[in-house]
A and B are shown apart, each in its own frame.
Chain A
Amino acid sequence: MAFFFQELVNGITTGALYALVALGFTMVYGVLKLLNFAHGDLYMIGAYIGFFVIQWFGGPNALTIPVPLLLVIMFVLAAGLVGGLGVAIERFAYRPLRDAPRIAPLITAIGISFFLENSALLLFGAQPRIYNTPQFISFSSGIQIGSVSIDAVQILVLVLGLVLMVGLRLLVNRTKVGRQMRAVAADREAAEMLGINVNFTIAATFFIGSALAGVAGVMGGLLFNQVTATIGFIAGLKAFTAAVVGGIGSIPGAVLGGLLLGVAESFITGYISSTFTNLFVFALLIAVMLVRPSGLLGRAQLQKV
């Protein structure tokens, strides 16, 4: 039974991480109908930013500032810088293609992904960068329920993830910017005719989505400890999977998809087989898609004549 709960905790933690990256992905899709394959690389850049912040303040063994302050700086800086990068990418690469066939921005996104990944390789080198989290957040600061142990970092990921998801939901449902985002996602031309500044709204969406990816990157660095230029690819793939399985364009769907993916991976590794984890996860997700063809929480696709 303890094993079950341990796997559950692990699954929900990684699921929360996937959900955060999937959120940004799905938001961008909502307003632009664009599958942003470069999203995972924004996660990677966030992770590098977190690493450099740790180095700036003395490195994991000799921090010069208290840990909570360090964490705040890491998250804020990653969110801000990666968000800005996302806005720049949108302005530079996606805006000219806004009216092109839907498949053209896919290739631009792939080009940007190549560019970001290899720029990181060029600038930061190929050696993995190690966060060394237990040096400044030791294991003993977690909680232990019976023989189920929850690490402090896992708690941080869960809490922060929850806060961000709730905050995003409030933003989208209660604020003016959120209303504008929903309007642009529903029908861009009509939104424009209503006087909404579409360019600003799309830029804001990109900023928030990319900032979420950046924060997820820092969390990933804290959880998994190593950062290389290629972690973005896997993260992007998971985000894509989680977002689509949950119903692409739907924010609660992305969260649900991410959690489902994390928990499925965890339980299948634990109970069935670690060798064929991916195969079983795929089979499970295909079954989900066949039962709910528009994703878990997606809207049934209207076909216009």
Chain B
Amino acid sequence: MSLDSQPPAAGPQVGADEWVARQAHRREYLPSWLGTGQRWLERVGWWPKLLVVGLAGAALPLLGLGGFQLQVGIDALVIALLAVGLNIVVGWAGLLDLGYVAFFGFGAYGFALLSSSQIGPNGIHLPTYLSVPIVMIGAAVLGLLVGWPSRRLIGDYLAIVTLFFGEAFVEFTNNVAPSVLGGPNGIVGIDPISVFGRQITTNAGYYYLLVVVLVLTMAVLRLLDTSRTGRAWRAVREDPLAAASMTIPVNRVKLMAFMFGAVVAALTGTIFAAQQISVFPTDFDTPILILIYAGLILGGAGSIAGAAAGALVLMVIYDGLLRSPTDSGYLFYGLILLTLVVKLRPWRRLAVVLAATVALGFAAHAVAGAISARAVAGGPHSTGWLAAALRDWVVVPANAQVLGNWGYVLLVCLLIALVQVGRRWRTILLPPTICLASFVWETRLAVEPAITRQLMIGAILIVMMNARPQGLLGSRRVEAIT
């Protein structure tokens, strides 16, 4: 979705494939010193980059992160690990697995059962070095079982069967054997994970543990990627029939993908269970699956770094920034400004639009205030310096709910119209649209931060996929549509 009226960059490149795409990419370096930096980065091996990023991540808490930010970091790292694992199944082997979150739950519940007082009179409290490997092996077996239908099912049919497994897991843990599995009340009182004899009980501890585990997993997977198995996965993804004629055991390769993905998810599950100290069936329902997929695809399916980066960015925004109404406001206005700056060329057009917006806002406020004092009685609901800046610019009536709702509907219609119309009309429509957007924000969206958070993440997903369908770190490649 581009605000310019030029056609989108080249349609299907017939005959192009991943290798060719990489050659094309080689000619697309940034100009001058940025290009030199890019080329240097490419020459450096992957493990120094991973190490540097990992150290940076581990050093973050030292900057003085509070409990909330550490929790957001932990949530983000958990989803990043899951995305990296899902990348094996979806990105490398090309199998649409909609039940992935069941492996995550299996790992968590398995660890919970083995490390709490749930089973037996005093419970099995296995030490970490026993319970985690047992859970991981169990998950591999489960991955084998779930992957079994993939021998006959392809594409969307596999997707639905895996979806069933995912739903069945939640139903199972919620309703079957409540005395053992805890039913809807889950399992409470899980032992912490101990590494090298030391128990990890603080959020900071789990954060570091997750950073280490993520870095190690990414390294192991990278090694796997460049091995025969990785190449086999990619071959199966591109064209299973051709791969089979090249003597790649397609079924075995698919099963291995499921198993590896399951093991990574189960490992993440154990850490999750230990950090939360409790597990409930609703922790492993579809919303988490959606987050993992969104993170994976936003970052670029098929790339380990992309999966992790996409998940981290998504979770930091969704779970961290958007939970704070002030930050949501900054993000909202910031994104509007950013879109304008990026999409409006030449500079003169940008300046005209901005000036018109500002003028229109003040004018509307003055006119509305002159007509009726009640029309501007409500103040902007943003907090911080935004409220002061906007007070005389945006019109906020005293009882704005109904008006705000209609404004919202009008705003959505205007946005759809903006995409369709030509350049001149777009320039004319932009200032009123921006004023209206601010109006809707101040009257309705800032008042309901919980709903706004969901709306904004939905909008971000839509815009990001339109702007960059291959994901942040993915590469443009053409897929054969079967």
**A residues neighboring B (CB under 8 Å):** 29, 33, 35, 88, 91-93, 96-97, 99-108, 110-115, 117-119, 121-123, 233, 240-241, 244-245, 248, 275-276, 278-279, 282, 285-286, 289-290, 293-295, 298, 301-305
Contacts and interface: CB of A to CB of B under 8 A. Distances in A.
| Nearest 4 Cβ contacts at the A-B interface | A111-B461, A114-B458, A100-B469, A115-B458
Given A108-B465, A279-B172, A301-B482, A103 B297 contact: yes
B466 interface: yes
A118 B293 CA distance: 20
B161 interface: yes
Nearest to B160: A244
Interface stretch (B149-157, B190-198, B221-229): B149-157
Contacts of B470: 100-101, 104
B477 interface: yes
Contact of A289 (B160, B175, B454, B471): B160
Contacts of A33: 481
A241 B159 CA distance: 10
B451 interface: yes
A241 B167 CA distance: 12
B160 A115 contact: no
B11 interface: yes
Helix, strand, loop or mixed for chain A's interface?
helix
Given A115-B459, A305-B241, A122 B405 contact: yes
Contact of B149 (A96, A279, A289): A289
Contacts of A245: 160
Given A115-B458, A305-B239, A282 B154 contact: no
Contact of B466 (A29, A101, A108): A108
B90 interface: yes
B461 A91 contact: no
A233 B408 CA distance: 23
A149 B20 CA distance: 66
21 contacts: A35-B159, A91-B416, A92-B419, A93-B462, A99-B11, A100-B470, A107-B298, A108-B465, A110-B461, A115-B459, A118-B451, A122-B405, A122-B444, A122-B445, A233-B286, A244-B159, A279-B172, A282-B168, A286-B149, A290-B153, A302-B482
A294 B153 CA distance: 7
B408 A122 contact: yes
A97 B167 contact: no
Interface in B176-202: 176
A101 B451 contact: no
Nearest to B440: A122
A125 B200 CA distance: 43
A11 B75 CA distance: 42
Nearest to B454: A118
Interface in B45-103: 90, 96
Interface residues of B, number: 68
B44 interface: no
Interface of B is mostly: helix
Nearest to B457: A114
Contacts of B294: 107, 110
Contacts of B172: 279
A247 B336 CA distance: 43
B16 to A, nearest CB: 12
B82 to A, nearest CB: 16
B459 A111 contact: yes
Given A104-B297, A106-B293, A294-B157, A111 B416 contact: no
Contacts of A279: 168, 171-172, 175
A112 B294 CA distance: 13
B448 interface: yes
B420 interface: yes
B361 to A, nearest CB: 23
Given A99-B12, A101-B479, A279-B168, 13 more contacts: A29-B156, A35-B159, A88-B416, A91-B419, A93-B466, A96-B466, A110-B461, A118-B455, A122-B444, A123-B405, A289-B153, A289-B160, A304-B241
Nearest to A92: B416
A220 to B, nearest CB: 20
Contacts of A102: 479, 481
B220 interface: no
A101 to B, nearest CB: 5
Contacts of A123: 405, 408-409
Contacts of A88: 416
A106 B297 contact: yes
B18 to A, nearest CB: 12
Nearest to B175: A275
B149 A107 contact: no
Contact of B290 (A99, A103, A110, A303): A110
A236 to B, nearest CB: 11
Contacts of B462: 93, 108, 111-112, 115
B301 interface: yes
B164 interface: yes
Contacts of A298: 157
A248 B480 CA distance: 18
B455 A111 contact: no
Interface string B266-309: 00000000000000000000100010011001100100000000
B138 interface: no
A278 B161 contact: no
A108 B165 CA distance: 24
A111 B461 CA distance: 5
Nearest to A102: B479
Contacts of A302: 482
B242 interface: yes
A298 B300 CA distance: 31
Contacts of B156: 29, 35, 244, 248
A116 to B, nearest CB: 8
Given A35-B156, A276-B171, A289 B482 contact: no
Contacts of A112: 458, 462
Contacts of A115: 455, 458-459, 462
A301 B480 CA distance: 14
Nearest to A284: B164
A282 B1 contact: no
B145 to A, nearest CB: 12
Contacts of B444: 122
A103 B480 contact: no
A115 B457 CA distance: 8
